[in-house]
Structure 1
Amino acid sequence: MPKGVLHKIESMLSKFLWSGKIDQRKLHPISWNTVCKPKKGKKGDWE
């Protein structure tokens, strides 16, 4: 997948997570990279 497409998808996901809308920006209380980290001891499985 092209990096530009991946960046756009991640941007929309981030906006939706924090504001509830994909076209509205809001301040993020934690970084997107922190949100995407797997839980400790879970070997990358999301829960």
Structure 2
Amino acid sequence: MIHGPSLAIGAGIASVSLILVFLASDVISNEPELVLETTPKIDKVGPT
């Protein structure tokens, strides 16, 4: 039996999961930028 409250809870969980997906995609998109910023510093320190 599917009741109204359970549908509301499901909608809430779905909205929270969507927010988590957006936050995760933002973190993943920011990680390559941080890696690209740190690697030149390591390359500069290596030869010296």
TM-score (norm 2): 0.37
Larger radius of gyration: 2
Greater relative contact order, per chain length (Cα 8 Å cut-off, separation 6+): 1
Q: Which has the higher helix share?
A: 2
TM-score (norm 1): 0.38
